[in-house]
């Protein structure tokens, strides 16, 4: 008997789930960003989106809901706080902007580390629509002018204390009511009393609810990023 074809799902026009592997259509063909493998499906080049290197990818793999709900609308503008070296950013760009930014998307990527900014700036040189900013997620005055309009999708991954307060403040300024905010929370970065991670994460969820968010899901990233939970929070007020 012949080999059966592996099942795949398209989570968006550019993001493909092939078995247990996640891929995004390469907006810069022939170029690997962080050493990820390249592969062609039906003649189109994709990049493997590694969930051990990307908390967004880990959440997509771990969510119990429709995986596509975690992705922003292609062609929209998004804000990413704590952009790091650009791993997740590059795959978001594949989906949001496409080659030569044919979709007219825009990713505003903010990070505090100069080394990260260098990597992001290099990435942006081959990916129109990506805006790299050296800035502190706590202090909007230094870079907020580059966000004249609120966005419908915001992601935060900052490894410093007060992550929840930073997220709430950023969403109040930059996220529309009804927009989706994704908060990647690392337990070790928070000041807590040692009751256990479960108690900490429960308190965080309650804090988000009290500040005008509907927490649609809290996704444990165990196996990809231990001691991390990604909160999927919709701003309702």
How far, in Å, CA of 158 to CA of 111, rounded?
9
Smallest CA-to-CA distance from 80 within 33, 43, 124 is with: 124
Q: What is the dihedral of CA 108, 112, 115, 118, to 10 degrees?
A: 30
| Residue 124 in domain | yes
Here the tokens at position 224 are: 């990809």
User: What tokens appear for 198 in the block?
Assistant: 């479960």
Q: What is the pLDDT of residue 188?
A: 64
Whether 13 maps to a domain, the answer reads: no
Classify residue 44: in a domain, yes or no. no
Residues linked to residue 18 through DSSP beta bridges, in sequence order: 8, 21
Flag whether 110 is in a domain: yes
Structure tokens at 147: 């966000």
**List of residues 6+ apart from 192 with CB closer than 8 A:** 199, 200
Q: What is the DSSP string of 4-52?
A: PPPPEEESSSSEEEETTEEEEE-SSTT--SSS--EEEETTEEEEE--TT
In a domain, 135, yes or no: yes
Query: Residue 198: its pLDDT value, please?
Result: 77
Round to whole Å and give the CA distance between 23 and 190.
32
Cβ burial, residue 198 (10 Å; 0-12/13-18/19+): exposed
Q: Is the pTM of this model over 0.85?
A: yes
Burial of residue 33, with CB atoms counted within 10 A of its CB: 0-12 exposed, 13-18 middle, 19 or more buried: buried
Domain that includes residue 184, residue range: 51-235
In angstroms, the first-to-last Cα distance of the chain is 58
The number of distinct structural domains making up the chain is: 1
For 19-43, how does the pLDDT look when each residue is reduced to its tens digit (9 = 90+)? 999 999 999 999 999 999 999 999 9
Q: What is the pLDDT of residue 83?
A: 97
Q: Cα-atom radius of gyration of the chain, to the nearest Å? A: 18
pLDDT of residue 234: 98
Kindly report the CA angle at 163 between 157 and 169, in degrees rounded to 5? 100
- Give how far Cα 74 sits from Cα of 85, 107, 113, 153, 215, Å: 22, 11, 28, 11, 23
How high is the pLDDT of residue 77? 97
- Give the three-state DSSP class for 178: strand
Residue 79 covered by a domain: yes
Residue ranges of the chain whose pLDDT lies below 50: 1-2, 4
What CATH number does residue 87 fall under?
3.40.50.150
Q: Confirm whether 191 is domain-assigned.
A: yes
Q: Evaluate whether residue 129 is within a structural domain.
A: yes
């Amino acid at each position: 008997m012949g080999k059966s074809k592996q099942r795949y799902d398209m989570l968006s026009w550019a993001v493909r789930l092939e078995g247990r592997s996640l891929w995004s259509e390469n907006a810069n063909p022939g170029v690997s960003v962080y050493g990820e493998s390249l592969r062609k499906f039906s003649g189109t080049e994709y990049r493997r989106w590694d969930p051990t290197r990307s908390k967004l990818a880990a959440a997509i793999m771990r969510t119990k809901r429709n995986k596509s709900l975690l992705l922003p609308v292609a062609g929209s503008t998004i804000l990413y706080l704590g952009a790091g070296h650009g791993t997740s950013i590059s795959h978001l760009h594949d989906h949001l902007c496409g080659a030569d930014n044919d979709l007219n998307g825009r990713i505003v990527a903010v990070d505090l580390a100069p080394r990260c900014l260098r990597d992001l700036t290099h990435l942006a040189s081959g990916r129109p629509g990506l805006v790299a900013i050296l800035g502190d997620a706590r202090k909007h005055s230094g870079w907020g002018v580059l966000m004249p309009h609120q966005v419908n999708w915001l992601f935060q991954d900052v490894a410093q204390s007060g992550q929840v307060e930073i997220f709430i403040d950023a969403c109040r300024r930059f996220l529309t009511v009804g927009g989706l905010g994704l908060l990647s929370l690392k337990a070790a970065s928070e000041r807590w009393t040692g009751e256990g991670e479960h108690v900490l994460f429960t308190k965080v969820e309650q804090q988000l609810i009290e500040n005008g968010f509907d927490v649609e899901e809290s996704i444990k990233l165990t196996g990809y990023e231990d001691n991390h939970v990604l909160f999927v929070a919709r701003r309702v007020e």
